[in-house]
A and B are shown apart, each in its own frame.
Chain A
Amino acid sequence: MDMNEIKEIFFQECEEQLAELESGLLRLNDGDTDPETVNAVFRAVHSIKGGAGAFGLDDLVSFAHVFETTLDCVRSNKLEASQDLLKVMLRSADVLADLTAASRDGGTVESSRTSGLVAELEAYAKGQPLPSASAAPAPAPAAAAPEPAQAETPAPAAEAPEPTDDSGFQPVPFSFDALDGDDDLAIEDGRSVFTVRFKPRSDLYAKGNESVLILRELAKLGDLQVRCEADDLPSIDMLDPEGAYFSWLIRVETDQDEEAVRHVFEFVEWDSTVEITAGADEEAFAAPDAQGGDQPMAAVPFDLSLLEDVPAVSAEAAAPEAPAPAAAAPAAAGDESMAPPNLPLAAKAIAAEAEKKETVVPAVPAAPQTIRVDLDRVDRLINLVGELVINQAMLAQSVVENESGGSSAVNLGLEELQQLTREIQDSVMAIRAQPVKPVFQRMGRIVREIADMTAKQVRLVTEGENTEVDKTVIDKIAEPLTHMIRNAVDHGLETPEKRTEAGKNAEGVLRLSAKHRSGRIVIEIADDGAGINRERVKAKAIENGLITADANLSDEDIDNLIFHPGFSTADKISDISGRGVGMDVVKRSIQALGGRISITSKPGKGSVFTMSLPLTLAVLDGMVVTVANQTLVVPLTAIVETLQPEKSDIHSFGPSQRLIAIRDTFCPLVDVGNILNFRSDLANPVDGVALLVESEGGGQRALMVDAIQGQRQVVIKSLEANYTNVPGIAAATILGDGRVALILDVDAVVTASRGQPLSPDMMLAATG
């Protein structure tokens, strides 16, 4: 496992920690007072900081550190988790997520965002929230704690250790002196003495950490006097070789602060007891026999120069600058990286030992019933299954071609194969399917943020959070969704005053819902705001030259203007709408996913944005049709019904429009071959088949094709990735006979049939 893989695992874990962090903060926000929630939140930030430290991600570490410090104050009851503080923390979690993303993908986070929050967090940690943070009074009922920390005298050496709280955590006293740069612990030449009691638990070793490395790191800070307490060591027969029996009393004389000493233990803090006190505990060192141990252990002064020829234990795993114990921390992979290649241990033995570890150490939490699989592997599997589907189709085809009638046994076998292939495919797809919950959760914070910035009152209601959809889709909807949510709060909802005037509740409601509908996922964002101001939209469009002043547009057309590139009704560029992302970008990113977006708006009642996305981007059920000697695939989800038009059903309308009468209604007839320029003249409807389709924009159209070949599941091969975007075509696929068939973009064809040209950037002016 190389460094990049370990790093990748770290980022995956970061995602989990960030989700944990946010849900914890939200629970606290909802009034949860369970100390374990605070601990969970703290641990999340702490773990991110720990891993980031190992990889030298300094921005991430320094921000996480400040965040953690403030959380520590909450954890140790020095600071109350007030609503205002939680708001700051939720924003900090947001920044932490951004910093993580920036570390992973490159890029930066505006330093003003981090520095502002750092200042706010630090102010809270000092018990003096910035006035700008909120108008609320300083939430520090336990203010007695932080303030005296500014004490002029050094903490007495023999100070009693902090009590351990219920959860077993050892709250480490945090010296605010360190922040202030005070140096009153100095004994000589600006050097301080700390006494460290370090007792590892077996978990520490089980997780691949090593006390030797910790002590080595400590030795780098200055001069050490180390006393090993081995009284717990049993006889060799009773010894568990994987156990932790040693503990250490260490006197550190260093020119660094307590924070630096604490830093050495930060990766093992959960798996050991660490007490750091300022000053020397001469008594403990002076009286080794006082413990009654039969092995008097004299303190051995330790000198860093001794370490110089010691080979770096984790040299192959860690970057030279990274603290060695840290390298093992971010992943269980640490174990592996520590293992020498020539270790004469069978893999079996290691596994057996691992099992033993589980049983011997009950403190190790039971492993969750999940495994972490590299997404690439799943994708490869999906690709292979795709090939299998194609292959199975080819096999079926050749059976049909070679055997007249076909023996029933072969056909039966083929049918079973088809069913199995289908099941395999569904199962593989299910591996990638994930609930939209994490994305929805993130929206809660965004709503709060924007509401704060715009001084609006908003309640976010989410529905169908457990609706599952392919991971690629989830990853890609977060951004457009964020933008739409921002938009809905910023432009959709009115200010409390205006709402009250209009007789509405001052608090606006934003409803975010997800559901499955006919093989797609439909996500709706509905606000109960003022609805689209069509007058203003139209005026703006005329002003920007998007439409002519005399253009006659339907309400739907006007609403859809907001998806036009560069369109913005915001009179002034605000923080929210000034990010250079317009609804056109939202629309394009949704379309790139094979999705559609539409809007319906009622003046005074609000607007509803509806996104419809495919559940997967890998396969599709399609109707294989022939159009002008070309084979095309029409997505089955778009087709309402198919019919054979009678001559009497066809009616002409205007110069080139034709309508087909279906039961009681007329439906425009669209010649696919003509729209796609496969042929210049219109086909005779009576010779072909009409596919009644429903487009996302609403309304039905009858698509004329020459013949239907059959219904098939096809594997989607991106045209964009392999060739280039072709208007009217969504993607391509490989058929059973090995030929490439194009998959029709039904909506684009329907839009084109309205008289708009088939180009990626449809000019709205043409509608005028």
Chain B
Amino acid sequence: MSSDGTSPKVLKLPEVLDLNAASRLHEQVLAHKGEDIDIDASDVNRVGAQCIQVLLAAAKSWRAEDQHFKVEPASEVFVKTLQLLGISDEALLPKEMLK
């Protein structure tokens, strides 16, 4: 949990998170390592499996270190893609959004 009580940093995802965006997303996420973070996926209108991998790995790692990591808000495309990929990890999205 965030110890200093400040609100989590927000990482706003770009519209396009395709194959070419995975490395950059990875760098961006890593840059926030150790911080509480909110991922804003509201603009995403295209997302590929590799970027989801990055986000899910980040979610797991953040959770393992007991830090705040939440994807919110998320665009419909983002949610639908997670559903299509069969990803029901609450670490990424609240369960009710995935059902």
Contacts and interface: CB of A to CB of B under 8 A. Distances in A.
Same complex: yes
Interface string A307-320: 10111010000000
A306 interface: yes
A186 interface: no
B15 A340 contact: yes
A344 interface: yes
> Quick one: which of B15, B18, B54 has the most chain A CB within 10 A?
B18
A335 interface: yes
Given A300-B98, A338-B20, A343-B16, A241 B25 contact: yes
Contact of B56 (A230, A248, A299): A230
Interface string A206-225: 00101110011001000011
Interface string B64-99: 100000000000110011011111110100000010
A311 B86 contact: no
Contacts of A26: none
A241 B50 contact: yes
Contacts of A230: 53, 56, 87, 89
Given A246-B49, A246-B85, A237 B61 contact: yes
7 contacts: A205-B49, A241-B50, A242-B50, A248-B86, A302-B83, A306-B83, A311-B45
A237 B30 CA distance: 7
Given A205-B49, A298-B88, A343 B20 contact: yes
A349 B25 CA distance: 13
Interface in A221-265: 224-228, 230, 233-237, 239, 241-246, 248, 250
A340 B87 contact: no
Of all A-B residue pairs in the complex, the 9 with the closest CB atoms, nearest first, are: A226-B86, A241-B26, A241-B22, A211-B49, A236-B61, A228-B86, A340-B16, A235-B61, A241-B23
**Chain B at the A interface: SS class:** helix
A interface, how many residues as a size bin?
35 or more
Contacts of A349: 23-24
B interface, how many residues as a size bin?
35 or more
B57 A235 contact: yes
A212 B20 contact: no
A210 B20 CA distance: 11
A345 B20 contact: yes
B46 to A, nearest CB: 6
B41 interface: no
Interface of A: 200, 205, 208, 210-212, 215-216, 219, 224-228, 230, 233-237, 239, 241-246, 248, 250, 295, 297-300, 302, 306-307, 309-311, 313, 335, 338-340, 342-345, 349-350, 353, 356
Interface in B22-72: 22-26, 29-30, 33, 45-50, 52-54, 56-58, 60-62, 64
A345 to B, nearest CB: 6
B21 interface: yes
Interface string B2-28: 000000000000111011111111100
Contacts of A243: 50, 53
A210 B19 contact: yes
Nearest to A350: B20
A604 B96 CA distance: 90
A248 B85 CA distance: 8
B30 A236 contact: yes
Contacts of B84: 212, 215-216, 219, 224, 226, 302, 306-307
Given A245-B53, A340-B46, A306 B80 contact: yes
A298 B87 CA distance: 8
B90 to A, nearest CB: 9
Nearest to A357: B23
A228 B85 contact: yes
Given A236-B58, A239-B26, A307 B80 contact: yes
A339 B18 contact: yes
Contacts of B52: 246
Nearest to A309: B76
A300 B47 CA distance: 18
B86 A297 contact: yes
